[in-house]
Structure formats: C-alpha cells, structure tokens
C-alpha cells in the first residue's frame, strides 16, 4: 500500500458552500480505501513483498515493512503525510488566524481525510475540539488530589487511566456495536481525547507547579487548542509560547510506526479503549532511546553549557563531545533508526528560534543554550562519523533542539514529554480511527527462537 503506488485523492473542500464536518471528510474517503484493501486481499494476498532476513528479525524488525500505516510513510529521507512533505504542507494547509506556524488542527484534518481543509472547515473543526476540552469531574477530582511530588508523566498516565471509563467506544462495544460502525465511536473518542489531553496536561502543570492556578480558567471557544492550552497554562498573552505549542504539536504528531506509535497501535488493535492506549504510548515514550531523548537532550545540552561556559570555541565543543563519545555515553538528539539525513523537522525549530526572540534569562535558562546547541549540531556529526563509525546516521534528530527550545521558552524539563505527548496522541488517534474503518485485525506476529531460526536456515540450505 505504498502511497506512490496508489492514486492520491486530494480535494480542497466540499462542492457545496457548507463546510464539511470531519466525519463527512472521513466517510467520503472510506469506500475507496476499503476497495483498495479488498483488492489487495482478493488478488495479492499471497504475493511476497519483502524477503524477511535474519538481520530483519534480530534487528528489532528494522527494514521489514509489516505495519499498515494510513496517514504517513517514513523512509530514510523523512516523513511523507499522504504523500506530501512537511514543506509542501506548509504551503498547502491553512494557518490559524495570524499564526505563522503550521496549525495542529489543519494537520490533523489532513491526516484524517487526506484532504486540505478550507478556512471554514478548520474553524469549525477547531471549535468542535475546543468544545470537548473540559475534563469530567471525576477526572479533575482525581488529578487535583494526586501527590504533587509525583512526576508529570505519572500524573498523566494516571489521568488517562481514569479517563478510560469515559470511552464511547467501550460503551458501544459493551452494547454490541457492529464492527463496521466502530470507527464512528472511535472517532468520537479520538475527538474527545484530542480536546481533553491538552487540558489534562495543563491541569497537571497547574497542580504540580502553580498551586492550581488557572486550572479552571474560562476557555475561549473561538480560539484554537494551542491558545486554550496557553489559557490553562496561565500564558494566554505569551504569543511565542502559543506559536511554539502549535509548532511542537505538528512536528510531533506523526512519525510512522515508531516505538510509541507502534505500541499504541498494538494495544488498540486488541480493542483497548483509546485513553489506556495513549497511556501505553506514553510509557513507551519514556524510554531513553525514544521520546525521553527530548528530555535527556536538554540535560545533555545544559551540562555542556555549564561545563564550557558562555563563550566556548569550536575546539572546546569538540573536546567535550569527544569525551562523551569516549565514555560510551549515548548522545541524545543524534542518530535515527530510519532517517539517513538530518531530521527534516529540525528546520522548523531552527526557523522558530531565529524568528522569535528568546525570553530573558530570568526564565532560569542559560541564554547561550540554543546558540551553543546549533553550533554543536554542526560539529557533532563529523565526530560521530569518525569516532563512532557503527552509528548509521550521525546527524541530529528533532530532539537535538526541540526540547531545549521548549525549555528556553518556559517549559520545565520534566514537563516536556507530556507537552510533546499531546501532539503524538492527536496524530495517533487519527491512525487509530482508520484502523477501525478498515477493520484491521488484532496484531499478532509469530515469535521465533534463535534455535528455530537456525533450523529454518538449515532446512532451506
């Protein structure tokens, strides 16, 4: 099902003047996608598309194309969303009001429908999401009574687990909903969750860092999710923060079947409710090699700044990094399991930093941090290439700068992962609705022992 092999169906809105609703946009696309899935099964079910090697199996399934992912495709050069790069989407997708950043809602609409929303559709969609932002009372009561010495990730996981009882999909399943109808309930849940998660995360921030301030501040129904998130974060007038939120939620929305997305896919394939599914994704993301790298990269960069002072030479940076490599340390923010180029998403962070004046040092962040990281991003790849030749891609990935940018613009380091998880959750939910629309089955690969592998090789010889 490679996008290059199938006709792309791009539309730019409805033929009548009324804006489409998202459910109409998705419903319009379902027949052609089901037709394609049916054709693949009917005519090509046993056709080989990849020769599975021992390397694929021992290498954590690297290189084995085995997960259908409708909303995007990642290869060594970057992500394509329904066949389009982020750069193309920047031109094609409508922006929100006076914002200069990509709009998370426009991107989401596009991921769900493979079509570009009109301004009216974007507005209507955002209003629908914001109308779903408020958390149920049992959830706010629960969150407000959690010990504040627990980390934001623990709060978020627990909050999601409590939200699970509000799943409409679970209620529909309990009443015996038919398989063909499940996507509509999954969509309702997905939209509820897309609205609720930023509010959940802002409430956690308020409870842990701000003694509950603004956690019930009045939402602006005419604004987008990022602006409403800022209201609940007590930063409604901080336009840089709102813009960074929009950007971060787009950049982290989808990246194919990486660890957190794949985890969520696996969990939801068993018809688990979406909130517990997101919780599983958050846990997967807290691994050092995956999303936690965004947090670790801030620590790495801060340590480098403290060690080198405000005016290091390139040679100072090189010596510092060489020591880290020699000590066997993982350099967070460098390397990638699939990309073989500089992560294209980094360009947007560089641009954001260049276009938005960083807050004053009273934010507690060392003022040279972002400048130093950008210099290091130029120096480190060559050092890795020479001194760590086993690394397949020594280039920086988006986490090399994104976390430190979020921190510089006012986010506490241990809050960066939940903040970024808002975007990842939104993107995955779009995929999960398509899983149901296509009736994809529970994931169940076969496992094999190494002795089994050897036996197969010997029987093939």
Ligand X SMILES: CC(C)(COP(=O)(O)OP(=O)(O)OC[C@H]1O[C@@H](n2cnc3c(N)ncnc32)[C@H](O)[C@@H]1OP(=O)(O)O)[C@@H](O)C(=O)NCCC(=O)NCCS
Please answer whether residues 110 and 2 qualify as being in contact, where contact means their C-beta atoms are separated by less than 8 angstroms: no
Stretch of 67-75, 384-392, 412-420, 440-448 contacting ligand X, by CB under 6 A: 384-392
Nearer to ligand X, 96 or 419 (CB): 419
Pick one of 390, 447, 449, 460: the residue that binds ligand X (CB under 6 A).
390
Look at residue 34 and give its three-state secondary structure: helix
Q: Rounded distance, CA 57 to CA 144, Å?
A: 45
Please report how close the Cβ of residue 327 comes to ligand X at its closest, in angstroms.
Answer: 10
Token pair belonging to 174: 């309990």
Token pair belonging to 202: 């802002």
Footprint (CB under 6 A) of ligand X, residues 231-250:
none
Pick one of 391, 413, 438, 440: the residue that binds ligand X (CB under 6 A).
391
Please report how close the Cβ of residue 332 comes to ligand X at its closest, in angstroms.
Answer: 5
Please report how close the Cβ of residue 156 comes to ligand X at its closest, in angstroms.
Answer: 20
Q: Using CB under 6 A as the criterion, what x/- string covers residues 67-86 for binding ligand X?
A: --------------------
Pick one of 54, 392, 445, 455: the residue that binds ligand X (CB under 6 A).
392
φ/ψ region of 323 (left if φ > 0, alpha if ψ in -120 to 50, else beta) reads alpha
Which residues, in sequence order, are bridge partners of residue 84?
Answer: 81
Q: Rounded distance, CA 322 to CA 361, Å?
A: 29
Q: Which residue is nearest to ligand X (CB)?
A: 335
Nearer to ligand X, 87 or 340 (CB): 340
Please answer whether residues 110 and 91 qualify as being in contact, where contact means their C-beta atoms are separated by less than 8 angstroms: no
Token pair belonging to 82: 């329904």
Nearer to ligand X, 271 or 324 (CB): 324
Residue 75 phi, psi dihedral angles, 5° rounding: -130, -170
Q: Rounded distance, CA 442 to CA 268, Å?
A: 8
336 labelled catalytic = yes
Catalytically annotated residue among 336, 343, 407, 435: 336
Angle at the Cα of 345 from the Cα atoms of 199 and 286, rounded to 5 degrees: 50
Nearer to ligand X, 110 or 334 (CB): 334
- Provide the 8-state DSSP code for 74: E
Kindly determine how many residues on this chain lie close enough to bind ligand X according to the rule CB under 6 A: 17
Please report how close the Cβ of residue 284 comes to ligand X at its closest, in angstroms.
Answer: 13
366 labelled catalytic = no
Nearer to ligand X, 239 or 337 (CB): 337
Look at residue 291 and give its three-state secondary structure: coil
Report if residue 399 touches ligand X, rule: CB under 6 A. yes
Catalytically annotated residue among 128, 238, 290, 414: 290
Footprint (CB under 6 A) of ligand X, residues 330-349:
330-337
Q: Rounded distance, CA 267 to CA 276, Å?
A: 9
Look at residue 312 and give its three-state secondary structure: coil
Nearer to ligand X, 227 or 296 (CB): 296
Token pair belonging to 204: 């956690």
Nearer to ligand X, 332 or 418 (CB): 332
Please report how close the Cβ of residue 403 comes to ligand X at its closest, in angstroms.
Answer: 10
Cα dihedral: 222, 227, 229, 231 (round 10): -90
Stretch of 69-77, 177-185, 204-212, 393-401 contacting ligand X, by CB under 6 A: 393-401
Footprint (CB under 6 A) of ligand X, residues 262-321:
289, 293
Q: Rounded distance, CA 217 to CA 283, Å?
A: 29
Catalytically annotated residue among 254, 273, 399, 435: 399
Can you spell out the DSSP letters for 78-133?
EEEETTB-HHHHHHHSPPPTT--SPPHHHHHHHHHHSSPPPHHHHHHHHHHHHHT-
Please report how close the Cβ of residue 42 comes to ligand X at its closest, in angstroms.
Answer: 36
399 labelled catalytic = yes
Please report how close the Cβ of residue 292 comes to ligand X at its closest, in angstroms.
Answer: 8
Estimate the crossing angle of helix 416-437 against helix 274-285, to 10 degrees. 130
Nearer to ligand X, 287 or 452 (CB): 287
Stretch of 116-124, 131-139, 210-218, 391-399 contacting ligand X, by CB under 6 A: 391-399
Please report how close the Cβ of residue 63 comes to ligand X at its closest, in angstroms.
Answer: 10
Q: Rounded distance, CA 153 to CA 159, Å?
A: 10
Pick one of 199, 397, 402, 432: the residue that binds ligand X (CB under 6 A).
397
Within 8 A by CB and 6+ apart from 196, the residues are 132, 133, 134, 135, 163
Chain contacts with ligand X (rule: CB under 6 A) = 289, 293, 330-337, 388, 390-393, 397, 399
* Active site residue ranges: 290, 336, 399
């Amino acid at each position: 099902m490679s996008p290059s092999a199938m006709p792309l169906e791009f539309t730019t809105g409805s033929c009548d003047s009324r804006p489409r609703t998202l459910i109409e946009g998705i419903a319009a696309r379902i027949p052609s996608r089901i037709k394609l899935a049916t054709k693949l099964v009917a005519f090509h079910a046993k056709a080989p598309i990849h020769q599975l090697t021992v390397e694929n199996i021992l290498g954590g399934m690297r290189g084995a194309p085995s997960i259908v992912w409708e909303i995007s495709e990642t290869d060594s050069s970057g992500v394509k969303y329904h066949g389009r790069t982020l750069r193309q989407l920047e031109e094609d997708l409508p922006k929100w009001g006076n914002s200069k950043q990509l709009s998370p809602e426009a991107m989401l609409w596009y991921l769900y429908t493979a079509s570009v929303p009109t301004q009216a559709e974007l507005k209507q969609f955002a209003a629908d999401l914001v109308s779903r932002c408020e958390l149920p009372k049992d959830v706010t009561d629960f969150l407000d009574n959690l010990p504040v010495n627990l980390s934001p990730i623990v709060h978020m996981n627990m909050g999601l687990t409590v939200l699970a009882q509000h799943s409409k999909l679970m209620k529909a399943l309990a009443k015996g909903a038919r398989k063909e109808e499940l996507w509509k309930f999954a969509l309702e849940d997905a939209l509820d969750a897309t609205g609720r998660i930023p509010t959940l995360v802002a409430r956690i921030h308020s409870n842990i860092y701000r003694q509950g301030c603004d956690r019930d501040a009045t939402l602006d129904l005419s604004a987008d999710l990022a602006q409403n998130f800022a209201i609940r974060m007590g930063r409604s007038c901080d336009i840089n923060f709102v813009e960074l939120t929009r950007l971060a939620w787009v950049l982290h929305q989808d990246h194919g079947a990486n660890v957190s997305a794949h985890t969520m896919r696996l969990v939801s394939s068993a018809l688990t409710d979406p909130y517990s599914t997101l919780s599983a994704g958050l846990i997967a993301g807290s691994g050092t090699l995956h999303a936690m790298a965004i947090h670790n990269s801030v620590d790495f960069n801060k340590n480098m700044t403290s060690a080198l002072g405000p005016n290091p030479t390139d040679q100072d940076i090189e010596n510092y990094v060489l020591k880290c490599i020699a000590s066997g340390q993982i350099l967070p923010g460098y390397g990638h399991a699939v990309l073989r180029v500089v992560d294209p998403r980094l360009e947007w962070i560089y641009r954001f930093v260049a276009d938005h004046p960083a807050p004053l040092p009273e934010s507690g962040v060392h003022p040279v941090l972002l400048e130093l990281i950008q210099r290091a991003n130029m120096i480190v790849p060559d050092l890795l290439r020479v001194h760590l030749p086993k690394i397949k891609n020594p280039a920086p990935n988006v986490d090399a700068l994104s976390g430190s940018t979020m921190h510089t613009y006012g986010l506490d380091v241990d809050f960066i992962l939940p903040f970024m998880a808002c975007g990842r959750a939104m993107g995955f939910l779009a995929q999960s609705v398509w899983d149901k629309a296509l009736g994809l089955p529970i994931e169940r690969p076969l496992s094999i022992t190494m002795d089994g592998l050897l036996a197969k090789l010997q029987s093939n010889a």
